Amino acid sequence: MGKLESPMGTVEITGRTGQTRPGFLEWGLLLLLLLVTGALVALGLLYAHSRAIKGPKEKGEICNTPGCVLAAARILQNMDPSKEPCDDFYQYACGGWLRHHVIPETNSRYSVFDILRDKLEVVLKGVLEKSTTKDRPAVQKAKTLYRSCMNKDIIEKRDSRPLLEILEVVGGWPVAMDKWNDTIGFGWELEQQLAVMNSHFNKRVLIDLFVWNDDQNSSRHIIYIDQPTLGMPSRDYYLQEGSNQKVRKAYLQFMMSVASMLRADVNLPTNSNLVQEDMVQVLNLETQLANATVPQEERHDVTALYHRMEVEELQNKFGLKGFNWTLFIQSVLSSANIELLPDEEVVVYGVPYLQNLEDVMDIFSARTMQNYLVWRLVLDRISSLSQRFKDARAHYHKVLYGKTAEEVRWRECVSYVNSNMESAVGSLYVKEAFSRDSKDVVRELIDKVQAVFVDNLDELSWMDKATKKKAQEKAMSIRVQIGYPSYILDKKNKHMDQEYSNLNFSEHLYFENGLQNLKAGAQRSLRKLRKKVDQNLWIMGAAVVNAFYSPNRNQIVFPAGILQPPFFSKEQPQALNFGGLGMVIGHEITHGFDDNGRNFDKNGNMLDWWSNFSAQRFQDQSQCMVYQYGNYTWDLAEQQNVNGFSTLGENIADNGGVRQAYKAYLKWRAEGGQDEQLPGLELTFDQIFFINFAQVWCGSYRPEFAVQSIKTDVHSPLKYRVLGSLQNLVAFADAFHCAQGTAMNPQVRCRVW
C-alpha cells in the first residue's frame, strides 16, 4: 500500500489537523489583515530585489482575502530569500521554516506534516472531551476509551497488576517467575503459543500469519505467511556495529529493567544474574531471527515473493523441526470460529525466512522462546502501564529516536483512540472541522491530474503502444475515495455502531480496554477469510494527515485530514492547490505504476500486462533513479547514503506526482483558468507552484532518527524528496532561470512517468 508519507510509528506509515477555513471576521481583524497585506507587499518587493528574480509574467488580480493573506504570510515566513534557488532549492523554500521551528523534546522529527497532525489532535481533543447525551453508541465508546486513557490516577494505582494477570493467560514469563520449567513449562507447545499471540493479542511473533486480499485474485481473501517484525525497528540494529551497538545495549537494558521490576512485584528476588542471562538469550534469539529475515530492499518484487500452496505442501517444505502448521493455523482460525479447509491454500511471502528459521529452531530452549514471545507482548503493552514502566523505556527511546521527553498524555490518548476507532473519531472530526463541499472541488482536481497522467503516456519513448494502452486503462479505472465514507455521518446507517458492537469499555480499565482492541483487530482481519472483498471499504479513517494507494484495489484515498492548507483550500490560489494536493494526487496515481504497483492490473490482480520490451525499459529508467538517490549523502545520518533501492517506489511517485500536477496546472490555465496573485510575492505562478510543493516537505530530524530513517523508511529524506524530483524537471529550471550545470539544472535527468 503506497503512502504519501510514512506514519510515525506503519503502517507506518507514518505515520493529525482541522481544516483551516476562514469564515466571517470582525472588522477589526479584517483591518489587521489589510495592514499585514501592506507589510507583505513591502517585504515582497524587498525580497524580489534582493534575489534579482523577475516579477510575474502573468497578470492576475491581487487576492486580498483572509485565505490569500494567510497563504502569502506562510510562504514568506517559510522561505529564505538569501539563498539561491538554483543552488539549493530546499534551503531557499524551507530555510525560514527550519530557522523558526525547533524540534520539540517529544519528537524525533518535526515537519509540516507533524504540525498539521498536532493541530488535528487539538480538534480531536475538543470533540472527545465534549460531553453530550446525543452521541451514538460508537462515539460513546470512543469517548469512554479516551477517558480511560486519561484516567492516570487509576492507571498508576493499578500499576503492574493488569499485566501480571495476562502473563498467566499466556503461560507466564519465565524470567519473572519461579520454577517455570517445573510447572507451566511442562507440555509447552510453540504452535499454541504463537496462535494465542496472534488471535488474542494481534502480535504476530516468529511467524507472521495474516489474512488479506489475494494478490492474484483481488475479489477474495487468503491466508499469508511471512517473516515477522522484530522488537527493534530494523534488522540492522541487531547485525551491524557502530551506533547500532548503543541502541542494542539500551534495548537489552530496557528488557532487563522491566523483567526486574515484575520480579520485584511478585516478591521474587531481583536476581540480576538470572535476568541478564535470560534476556541476553532473548536478544541472541532475536538476532538470529533478524539474520534469518530478508532485507526490505530485496523484497520489492511482489511477483517473486508470492508462493501459493496448500497447507500440506507448506508442512512438507517447511517442517521447522516438527512444527505442526495445521495445528497452528487451525488454532488461529478457530478463535474467529473458522474451520480450516482440507485443501486450504496459503500464500507464502517469506520463503527464504522459513528456510533459515529451520536452523534457528534447534538452537534455543522452550524457556528462551517463551521469554521472547512474552517480551514482545510486554513491549507492546508498556504504553498502557504506569509511569515507572515508561521511565524504564525512556533511555532506550532517547538512544533510538533522540527524544528526551514522553508525549503529553492527552496527545497520546487522542492518537490511540483515533488509531483504534477510526470511523467513530473520523465522524467527530468531519462534523467539527471539514467543509464537506470540498469533496467536489477535490474530485475536479483528481480528474485533471488523472487526465494528465494518461496524456503523458504519449511522451514515453521507452513504452510500446500495447503496454501504453493497458496503462491508460488502469489509470482510468482507479477508484477514488475522498474525505470520509458517507455512512459515518448517517445516523440511520448502523454500520459504524455494528463495527464496534463487541467492544465494552470501562473508564477504569484502560489496560483491559486495550486488550479488547487488540483482539477485535485480530478477529476483524481473520473473519474476512471466507468473505468476498468489499471494494468500497475504506482502508483508513477520515482524521488522518496522509494519502494512500492500494494496489490490490487499484484505489486512491484522500482522507479529510489532508484536505487543508498548505495542501488544499478553496480560499487559496490554484497554484498552491495544484502544487500541494495536486502533487499528492499525482503521487498516489503514480504508485499504481511504480516498481510494485506496476505488477497489478486495473482490477487489482497481480498480472503481467507488460511487454518484454517495456518491462526491460522500465527497469532501465528506474535504475537511473536508484543511482540518483543512492548518491545523496545525508550528513545528519552519519554521512550514510540514501538507499536508492528501498526508496525507489516513493521516488518514482514523487517525480511523477509533481510532473503531473504541474502539467495539470498549466492545462487548467490554458483552458481559461484565472489564477490570483498573492499579496507581497513578486513571483510567477509557476514559481509559487514549485515553492508550495517544496514547503509541503519542510522539516527537520534528530540525528538518531535520521539514522533510523535511512534503515527503515521507504521514503527519501524530506530534503531529497524535493531536490530529487525538481532536478529531474526541466520546467522547474525554466521557472527559476537556472543555468545549465547548476545543482537544480543538471546535465543528466531521470524520468519514469
Q: For this structure, is 588 an active site residue?
A: yes
> Which three cell numbers, joined as nine digits, stand for 748?
543528466
Closest CA to 564 of 535, 550, 584: 584
Marked catalytic residue, from 286, 601, 654, 686: 654
Marked catalytic residue, from 214, 588, 675, 682: 588
> Which three cell numbers, joined as nine digits, stand for 444?
475536479
Q: How far apart are CA 43 and CA 76, in angstroms?
A: 9
Q: What is the number of other CB atoms lying within 10 angstroms of the CB of residue 236? A: 18
Q: Which residues have C-beta within 8 Å of that of residue 113, sequence separation ≥ 6?
A: 5, 545, 546, 699
Is residue 650 within 8 A of residue 751, CB to CB? The reply is: no
Q: How far apart are CA 663 and CA 672, in angstroms?
A: 14
- Residue owning grid cell 473458522: 338
Is residue 175 within 8 A of residue 270, CB to CB? The reply is: no
The number of C-alpha atoms within 13 Å of 291 and in the hemisphere containing its C-beta is 12
Q: How far apart are CA 575 and CA 362, in angstroms?
A: 62
Q: For this structure, is 278 an active site residue?
A: no
Exposed e or buried b for every residue in 20-31, given b needs 16+ CB within 10 A?
Answer: beeeeeeeeeee
Closest CA to 17 of 417, 434, 436, 424: 434
What DSSP designation does 170 have?
Answer: T
- Residue owning grid cell 509541503: 696
The number of C-alpha atoms within 13 Å of 275 and in the hemisphere containing its C-beta is 19
Alpha-helical regions (H) of 335-386: 351-363, 366-381
Find the distance separating the first CA and the last CA of the chain, reported in whole Å. 19
Q: How far apart are CA 13 and CA 546, in angstroms?
A: 9
Residues carrying an active site annotation: 588, 654
